Structure formats: structure tokens, C-alpha cells
Structure 1
Amino acid sequence: MNWEQVLWKEYLFSNSPLEALHISFLKPILDPLAITFHHLGSSLFFMGLVSIIYLCVDRKLGIRMTLGLLLAGILNGTCKALLTSPRPIGLPYPAELGLVEGSYGFPSGHVQTAVVLYGTLFLHLRIFWVRMLTGFAILFMPIARMYVGLHFLGDVIGGFFLGLFVLFGLEFWLQKNPSLLVASGPAEAENQSKLKSYLLLLIAATLPTVLLQDPSQPESTNRSWEQVISASGSLAGFGIAILQNKRSGVDWKRATGIADFLVRIAIVVLGILVFYLAIGKLLNTLLPENPVARYLRYGIVCYYIGYLSPFLLKRIRGGTHLI
């Protein structure tokens, strides 16, 4: 057996590094931390986080984070579906901690997303405590995913580097195309046809993902494609929202008081409850396991967060809560 096989079988895709993390005296600390980091990777948490940043902290930073999150989701789900790399087996930790995952293992989506989202915050919010927290989240997420027995060392390394690829690739692209982050307004009426072209291109690039699911494929493959469909629908909905905001010249500053912050959050929560949970449940009832319904559900809620939320806030008390 050569060194590549040893590296592959004994370290990168072996249970040994995962078992080595379970040191008895650290269990009371690592168990709750690992469970917390597992739930920090849920779509509902990320939806809430980017919504708060987008509406309450920095609109441009929120756009960066949302685009990074959705592109990472598409790339991660595609890699999982095509590579079909299994997760660790024979470990008691997931059952003991009450955690389960249905998709494939490589690359780790939690790690990839942590690098993209928290990396964006690290780069653009130059506040000491923010950088400490985001740096810790990026570094601890790979350990947490291995500790709970849901990913091999190779999975988290792959997720980490793919996250860096999305993070710096998006940063480079936005540096070359900064106009996406700028609210143009009616003054650029001559560019309306270009915006419509972008809108059609966005739909044409994302809508075909609904064809990826196939009942004849393994469940884990379809779970991975579900992630691609969800992220594609979200990208379409949020992208359309950003283009509409750009056309209308809608912009705002960070929330400066408790009242402004609470009103903005309330509008977001209301939309998530109605469009993500209520309408999502209705669509699942009417069209169970339907990829088109999934695409529409995520597209609608991200359109609400991106465009309808600021639209409503601009009309509450004359827009005093979103200046």
C-alpha cells in the first residue's frame, strides 16, 4: 500500500480521526457546541441571518452574503449528487446526539457555508468581536462536523476549500462588477432592457434545475438535488428582487434604534412565517415532493426578503423605519 492509499484510507476517509476527537473530559463542552453548530447550518437559520444583515446592518453586505450562500448551496449539492461519497458508518455519535443527515458526505455543506458566510462577515465587518466570533465559527465547524460523526476529515477539507473558492470568487466578481450593489434608480431608464435581459437569463439558468430529480435515483442523490433546486429557486427570487430594487433606486441605512430594528425584523419574520412555512406547507400538501413547488417556495420567500420587505417598510409610517 503506497502513501496515497494510506492517506486516503487511514486519515482522509477513515473513522479514526473522528474517534480521536472524543476525549471524555471534553465531552460536556463539545457535545452542546457540536449540536449548536449543527443547527447553525439549517436553512431557516441562514435565512434569518442574511435577512438581518440585509435589512438591519448593511444592504450591500447582505447581498454579498446571500449570493455567496446560494452559490455555495448550488455547488455543494451538485458535487454531492455527482460524487455520491458516503458518510461515516458504524459510529454511535449521530444517534447519541440525535442528529441525522440524508444527503451524501463530500463536500461538507456546513463547512463550506460557514467559510462563505462567516468569511464574508470577517472580511467586511472590521469589528474585533465580530472577527473573533466568525473566525472561531469557521475554524470550529470542521471539528464539530467530525465530532458528531457526520463527516470524514476529507469531507470537511473539501468543504473548506470549496468555501474559499466561492468566497474569493464572488469577491473578485463583485470587484469587477460593483454596479450590482448600487441602487441605480429611474435615472438609468435606458438600462431597463438590460435589466430585463438579466432577469430572463436568471430564470433560464435556474429553472431547469427542477428536472434534476428523478424517482429512479437513490434517495441520497435526490436529497442533494433538492438542495440545488432550493438554492436555485432562492437565487432566482432574490436576484429578481435585487434587479427590481436597482431599477427603483431603493436603498437604506442600518437600523439606528431599537424601534427600527424590531420593525424590520418583524416584517422579515412575518414574511418567513407566511411565505416559507405556511405557503411551503400548502405547496407540500398540494404538490408533495414536487421540485417545481420547491423551486417556487424558495423563490417566493427570497423575493419577499429581497424586495417586498423593503417595499413594505418604505410605506410604514412614511418609511421612517427604513431610511
Structure 2
Amino acid sequence: MDYLIPDPAAVVALQTHLGWLAPLMNAVSFTGTAVFFFAVLPAIWWCVSPRLGLRLGLIVSLSGCINAVLKVLFHTPRPYWVSTEVRAFSTHQTFSLPSGHAQNAVCFFGAAAVWIHKRWFWAVAATLILLTGLSRIILGVHFPVDVLAGWAVGIVVLLLFIAADRRLSPGITALSPAVQAAGVTAASLLLAALGLALVVSGGEIPLSWTETAVAASGLPATRAIDPYDPSTLLSSAGTLLGIGLGAVWMGERFSAEGSVRAKLRRYALGMAIAALIYAGMGLAPDGGLLAAGWTIEYLRAAVLGFWVSGGAPALFKYLGIAGEAHRPSR
């Protein structure tokens, strides 16, 4: 198999002059992680706007699936896998192109800016998008071309999502809940199946990549590099399924309005139960079977997504800490 390997000179140059910013860049990069999205998305959904939360959840989930598929298609290495001159201030097991952090930053912060529609937030979003891309290069986990590709794909996904939301949302809303649920399920399973098909058909990677990655990261070979790991794909597809089904089931029955105290209670309770779900399902035995482990990964993300969009809002209503749903909130 032929591999595209960009020149690491730009990465080395940036690290030489700006490597001292690595701790700050790691903090910036946190805004592109699954942990960040699972912390912020519920806060938006439960305490600000279910309408905005739904759109952000859908676009980030779709972006994650698309990025995972593209990484396997392009199968390019990360800088510290191929150059001993690059310092690994952070590590990642999967392929490099396009940058998932850069792509997700465009989708998440770009979508938020579109719907919040405030000039100051556009400035915040642009700053975070640019800093996220820069951070990935300084940390040694992406070449500049990876970041540029991530931004480009993110812009395309964002524009298509906005267009689809404006043109298709009224028609989708008019469909029966059963049809909506079937559509979400089909989309999730199709994306997961496409990605897994690429993963299982993937070829061997050069041994030198593993050796260089181990030397740079200090991690054992099994943790230093695993480019065909489908975890991101499965968690993104599962989240898409859960969020979609929860939103269909909950409909317009939840409002994020209420006092600050009520919103804090929602978030604290909702996140505590989400943590229990994550930890509990992580203990589920897979019997050492790869397919079983993949299924658990997918289902855990789906359950968490459903909790955010359906389970938690229903519980808040039952406990009397939800706002009054006097208007459509999706």
C-alpha cells in the first residue's frame, strides 16, 4: 500500500519556536475532544436551548463519522510517527488526515455562531477554530495539510448541514415519529457499517511508524499506534443514534427555561447519571471478542446520547425542575 507522507519541516519549525506553548495548546485542543462535547452539549440542551443542543449534537456526531471514514481512506501518518525530529507533546493512535479537532471545531463553533448569531460569538468561534488548528501542529500530532483539510471538510459539512436544516427540517418534523426514528437508525447504522468495512479491509502499516511512535511517545506499541481503531467512528455513530431517537421520543415536551438554581440542579443530576451510565457500560464484558467490544462501544454512546436528548429531560419534567414547554423547543 502506498502512503502519503508530508514533509515534517513546518511542524519542527513551529515546535522549535513555539514548543514552550505546548501546555496551553493541550488546553486548547481539549475543546475538540469527546469529553468536552459531552460536558458542554448537555449544558446547552438542558439549560439553554434544546433546539440548539439538537443541532450541535447532530452536526458533531455526523462530523465525527465523516472524519473517521476519511482518515482510513487517506491513511496518512502523524508527524511523530515518521520523524524523530518531531516531539510528541500529545499522542493519538489513529491516522492523521484530516484533523478531527480542526474539523469538529469548525462544525461545533461554526454552527453555534450561526444559530447564536452574535458578532462577539463569531469572533470567539473564529479564534477557537484557528487556535485549535495551530495547537494540533505545535503538539506534533498533525501536519499543516491535515489541519487545512480538516477546516475545509468542516466548512463543507457545516454548509451542507445548515442548508439541509433550513430546507428539510419542516418536512422531517411533519413525518411520524416512527419514520423519523427509522431514518435516524438507518443513517447511524449505514455510517457505522461503511466505516467498519473500511477498517476491516485496511492493510498493514509500516513497522517504522510503530517504532518511531513508540520512541517519541514512550508508550508501548499496543497503545502508541492503532490506526484502524474504530472507536471514534462507533462512538460518533452511536451518539447520532441516541440523540436522534431521544429527540424524536421527547418531541417538544421539554423547555430549558427556569431559574439558575433549577438549571444547576438539572446539570448536576444529569451529568452524575451520565457518568454512571458511562462507567457502568464500560464494565460490560465483551468475552474477548472484537465484535462484542465494538457493539458495546456503539451502544454506550447511543445510551448516553439518548440520555442527553430524551432520558434526562423526561426525568427533569418528572422531578419538576424542567421549564414549561409552552413553545416548540426542537
**Same fold by TM (over 0.5)?**
yes
The SS at the match of 1:150 is coil
Q: Contact conserved, 2:184 with 2:240, CA < 8 A, in 1?
A: no
1:5: which partner in 2?
none
For residues 217 and 267 of structure 1, the distance between their equivalents in structure 2, rounded to whole angstroms, comes to: 45
2:263: which partner in 1?
261
How many residue pairs are counted as aligned between the two chains?
A: 297
Q: 1:227 aligns with which of 224, 232, 242?
A: 232
Give the letter for the 2:14 counterpart: L
Q: 2:312 aligns with which of 303, 309, 312?
A: 309
1:243 aligns with 2:248: yes
For residues 107 and 246 of structure 2, the distance between their equivalents in structure 1, rounded to whole angstroms, comes to: 22
1:192-232 alpha-carbon deviations (Å, 9 max, x no partner): 55345435534653564685454986563422x32212211
Superposed counterparts of 1:102-121, under 5 Å: 102-121=93-112
For residues 50 and 195 of structure 2, the distance between their equivalents in structure 1, rounded to whole angstroms, comes to: 30
1:20: which partner in 2?
13
1:17-57 alpha-carbon deviations (Å, 9 max, x no partner): 11222354x554x2222111222222111111111111111
Q: Contact conserved, 1:264 with 1:321, CA < 8 A, in 2?
A: no
1:42-73 alpha-carbon deviations (Å, 9 max, x no partner): 21111111111111111111111111101111
Tell me the CA shift for residue 128 of structure 1.
4.4
Q: Contact conserved, 1:199 with 1:243, CA < 8 A, in 2?
A: no
Distance 1:34 1:193, change over 3 A: closer
Mean CA deviation greater in 38-47 or 99-108: 38-47
Tell me the CA shift for residue 314 of structure 1.
0.5
Distance 1:293 1:94, change over 3 A: farther
TM-score of the pair, normalised by structure 2? 0.80
Structure 1 unmatched runs, 5+: 1-7, 183-187
Superposed counterparts of 1:93-242, under 5 Å: 94-95=87-88, 97=89, 99-179=90-170, 191-195=176-180, 197-198=182-183, 201-202=186-187, 204-206=189-191, 208=193, 211-212=196-197, 213-214=199-200, 220-223=226-229, 225-242=230-247
Tell me the CA shift for residue 153 of structure 1.
1.0
The SS at the match of 1:228 is helix
1:31: which partner in 2?
22
Q: Contact conserved, 2:43 with 2:267, CA < 8 A, in 1?
A: yes
Q: 2:299 aligns with which of 288, 296, 302?
A: 296
Structure 2 unmatched runs, 5+: 205-224, 326-330
Q: 2:58 aligns with which of 59, 63, 67?
A: 67
For residues 317 and 236 of structure 2, the distance between their equivalents in structure 1, rounded to whole angstroms, comes to: 28
Q: Contact conserved, 2:181 with 2:244, CA < 8 A, in 1?
A: no
1:102-139 alpha-carbon deviations (Å, 9 max, x no partner): 00010000000000001111212233443332211111
For residues 177 and 134 of structure 2, the distance between their equivalents in structure 1, rounded to whole angstroms, comes to: 48
Distance 1:196 1:153, change over 3 A: closer
Q: Which runs of 4+ in 1 moved over 4 A?
A: 91-94, 215-219, 284-289, 319-323
2:284: which partner in 1?
283
Give the letter for the 1:298 counterpart: A
CA RMSD of aligned residues (A): 2.8
The SS at the match of 1:177 is helix
The SS at the match of 1:314 is helix
